[in-house]
């Protein structure tokens, strides 16, 4: 990429010198332009690459100007050699004596051409290097074996807040403004890691702390040895990435995770643990050192595996975890959130375990309140539809739909307070006769008894008749309650869906309706004939 065209200016009285220059063999990729001028016209060619001129035609006061931009070749007689000023001889590229041997001129001319191209290549490579290291936001430096910085980039200068001339050529203590005695009594390891690389003669990666003018900084440094052309170690090169902000973020995140009131476990794509917080250690009774870089599956005990953790009582992805902690049951809600990188790739999972023991206890109490009728102590209609209806799937269910006969008359004649007393007693009678079944108050004076498991129709009828007789025995002794009785509708079926449960409830209600028509204090079993009869009357 470096420029390969060369401008040659000849200011000499020799008639054949220009011919020799033009005739000199040259690589085909090199373009040479040769110009013959009078010495008086030199000032018009200050930017030529090679100037070949007679010594006696140079004005000494223009030497510096001429030599600054050109490779100068002096042509002189032998007796003139001793008259060449030292200031000039130090800046010229070559001296040709007046014999001008064609072979010698060609040889030395080509060497000058090579030197010009070599200097251009060197300058371009230097530009490449400077551009490269100054385009990198990280700190870059080159050191000699004695610790002197020979080259640094702009980021390095910015970090130490010094100009380049105050950095290159100086050691670590001067650059970082740290007295040697303070450095030696501190935790700084920069020079120590240099020694490691020099002794090992191979690259290394280190964590280093430095004190910049704006405060302490944490660096991740990459250092490599540099070898000379003979294979000898001549210095080191270092690249430092300032990870202070990342470390601060990491420290803040670690602080947040460790002080969270929830247990946290972060795993990678292979479900290996990356970190857990203190709450996790407390809940699961493990230490982070025993978990990091290992898999930690949470599972109940089985024939193949023991429970993990050992005090685990129950685990379900939706319901949560139940564990025994310090002799008490603790319920943890589980939430797993995928972690994706900037490009959306899955890189791990954030597992959060929240203690919901108190919350679940309150929920259970509220559900108990919602599922219990405050007057009778029986289950409520809500319990029937939210719990039994949704959970009793693929089960044999029998249902007794019950209605108190003439209850409205009692309310109207004796008052609602007396009616409430009747409802309470009715609830106690049902629980006595059906202690293992779900007794439900549907509302008002209507009740439902749900019996799970296979039952014969005659068995259900017998139990219904017992309930009718129990009511008659209990309330017939009181003149005000002699008219009180119960009517019962009976239905049973195999329930496989909530819709079928609704159908079972409808059938038992239809049978109750038929019992009422027959004169009350009766029980009726739902049949297909009963269904047809009811439909014909409607």
Task: Indicate if the pLDDT at residue 479 is higher than 70.
Answer: no
What is residue 15's three-state secondary structure? Answer: coil
Distance CA 405, CA 445 (A): 9
Distance of CA 364 to the CA centre of its chain: 37
* 62-76, 202-216, 277-291, range with the lowest pLDDT: 62-76
Q: What are phi and psi of 77, to 5 degrees?
A: -85, 160
Q: Give me the mean pLDDT over the 181-187 stretch.
A: 70
Return all residues near 209 (Cβ < 8 A) that are at least 6 apart.
187, 188, 189, 216, 217, 218, 219
410: region left, alpha or beta (phi > 0 left; psi from -120 to 50 alpha): alpha
Token reading at 224 = 């490599």
**534 touches 514 (CB < 8 A):** yes
Counting residues of the chain whose pLDDT is more than 90, the rounded percentage is 35
Task: Indicate if the pLDDT at residue 538 is higher than 60.
Answer: no
Q: pLDDT tens for residues 503-527?
A: 999 999 999 999 998 888 899 999 8
Task: Indicate if the pLDDT at residue 45 is higher than 80.
Answer: no
Task: Indicate if the pLDDT at residue 139 is higher than 90.
Answer: yes
Distance CA 208, CA 192 (A): 10
Determine the pLDDT at residue 401: 96
**413 touches 432 (CB < 8 A):** no
**Sheet of strand 438-443, all strands in order from the earlier edge strand to the far edge:** 379-380, 438-443, 446-452, 395-405, 485-495, 523-525
Distance CA 391, CA 374 (A): 24
Distance CA 74, CA 63 (A): 11
With cut-offs at 50, 70 and 90, classify the pLDDT of residue 233: very high
Which CATH code, of 3.20.20.140, 1.10.150.300, 3.10.129.10, 3.30.70.270, is assigned to 372-537? Answer: 3.30.70.270
Model pTM above 0.85:
no
Determine the pLDDT at residue 44: 65
**22 touches 47 (CB < 8 A):** no
Q: pLDDT tens for residues 144-153?
A: 999 999 999 9
Task: Indicate if the pLDDT at residue 455 is higher than 80.
Answer: yes
Distance CA 54, CA 70 (A): 15
Determine the pLDDT at residue 43: 67
Residue-range domain boundaries for the chain: 5-131, 136-242, 261-360, 372-537
Determine the pLDDT at residue 394: 82
**Fold entry, domain 5-131:** Rossmann fold (3.40.50)
- The more confident residue out of 208 and 55 is 208
Determine the pLDDT at residue 37: 82
Homologous superfamily (CATH) of 261-360 is PAS domain (3.30.450.20)
Distance CA 442, CA 375 (A): 12
**Would the CATH topology of 136-242 be identical to that of 261-360?**
yes
Alpha carbons within 13 A on the beta-carbon side of 441: 24
Determine the pLDDT at residue 65: 63
Q: Give me the mean pLDDT over the 230-249 stretch.
A: 86
Determine the pLDDT at residue 224: 95
Mean pLDDT of the chain: 85
Q: Give me the mean pLDDT over the 491-495 stretch.
A: 92
Determine the pLDDT at residue 477: 60
Which CATH code, of 2.30.110.10, 3.40.50.1100, 3.40.50.10420, 3.30.450.20, is assigned to 136-242? Answer: 3.30.450.20
Which own/partner contact pairs does 455-461 have at CB distance under 8 Å and 24+ positions apart?
455/396, 455/398, 455/492, 457/490, 457/492, 457/525, 460/398, 460/400, 460/490, 460/492, 460/525, 461/490, 461/523, 461/525
Segment of 213-222, 297-306, 311-320, 341-350 carrying the highest mean pLDDT: 341-350
- Helix, strand and coil content of the chain, in percent to the nearest 5, comes to 45, 30, 25
Determine the pLDDT at residue 97: 81
Distance CA 204, CA 118 (A): 34
Task: Indicate if the pLDDT at residue 57 is higher than 60.
Answer: no
Task: Indicate if the pLDDT at residue 115 is higher than 80.
Answer: yes
- 37 class by beta-carbon count within 10 Å (0-12 exposed, 13-18 middle, 19+ buried): middle
CA torsion through residues 497, 498, 503, 507, sign: positive
Distance CA 320, CA 314 (A): 8
């Amino acid at each position: 990429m470096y420029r390969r065209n060369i401008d040659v200016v000849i200011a000499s009285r020799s008639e054949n010198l220009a011919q020799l220059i033009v005739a000199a063999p040259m690589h085909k990729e090199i373009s040479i332009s040769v110009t013959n001028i009078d010495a008086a016209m030199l000032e018009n060619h200050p930017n030529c690459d090679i100037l070949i001129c007679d010594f006696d035609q140079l004005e000494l006061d223009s030497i510096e100007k001429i030599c600054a931009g050109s490779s100068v070749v002096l042509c002189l007689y032998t007796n003139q050699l001793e008259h060449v000023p030292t200031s000039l001889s130090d800046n010229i590229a070559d001296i040709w004596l007046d014999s001008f041997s064609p072979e010698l001129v060609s040889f030395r001319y080509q060497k000058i051409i090579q030197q010009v191209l070599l200097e251009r290549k060197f300058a371009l490579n230097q530009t490449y290097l400077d551009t490269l290291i100054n385009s990198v936001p990280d700190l870059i430096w080159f050191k000699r074996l004695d610790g002197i910085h020979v080259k640094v980039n702009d980021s390095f200068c910015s970090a130490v807040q010094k100009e380049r001339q105050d950095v290159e050529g100086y050691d670590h203590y001067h650059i970082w403004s740290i007295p040697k005695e303070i450095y030696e009594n501190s935790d700084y390891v920069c020079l120590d890691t240099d020694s490691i690389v020099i002794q090992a003669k191979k690259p290394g990666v280190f964590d280093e702390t430095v004190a910049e003018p704006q405060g302490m900084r944490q660096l991740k440094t990459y250092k490599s040895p540099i070898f000379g052309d003979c294979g000898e170690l001549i210095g080191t090169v270092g690249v430092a990435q300032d990870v202070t902000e990342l470390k601060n973020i990491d420290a803040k995140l670690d602080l947040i995770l460790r002080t969270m009131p929830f247990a946290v476990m972060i795993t990678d794509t292979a479900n290996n643990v990356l970190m857990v917080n203190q709450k996790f250690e407390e809940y699961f009774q493990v230490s982070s050192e025993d978990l990091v870089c290992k898999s930690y599956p949470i599972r109940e005990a089985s024939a193949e595996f023991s429970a993990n953790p050992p005090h685990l009582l129950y685990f379900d992805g939706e319901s949560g975890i139940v564990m025994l902690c310090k002799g008490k049951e603790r319920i943890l809600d589980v939430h797993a959130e995928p972690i994706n990188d900037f490009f959306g790739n899955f890189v791990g999972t954030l597992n959060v375990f929240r203690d919901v023991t108190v919350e679940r206890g309150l929920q259970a109490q509220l559900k108990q309140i919602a599922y219990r009728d405050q007057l009778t102590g029986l289950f409520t209609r809500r319990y029937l539809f939210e719990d039994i209806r949704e959970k009793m799937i693929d089960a044999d269910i029998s249902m007794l739909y019950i209605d108190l006969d003439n209850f409205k008359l009692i309310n109207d004649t004796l008052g609602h307070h007396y009616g409430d007393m009747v409802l309470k007693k009715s609830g106690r009678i049902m629980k006595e006769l059906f202690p293992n079944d779900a007794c439900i108050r549907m509302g008002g004076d209507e009740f439902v008894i749900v019996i799970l498991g296979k039952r014969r129709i005659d068995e259900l009828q017998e139990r219904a008749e017992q309930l009718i007789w129990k009511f008659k025995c209990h309330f017939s002794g009181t003149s005000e309650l002699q008219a009180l009785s119960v009517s019962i509708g009976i239905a049973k079926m195999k329930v496989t869906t909530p819709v079928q449960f609704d159908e079972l409830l409808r059938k038992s209600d239809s049978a109750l309706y038929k019992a009422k028509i027959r004169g009350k204090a009766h029980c009726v079993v739902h049949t297909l004939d009963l269904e047809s009869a009811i439909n014909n009357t409607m």
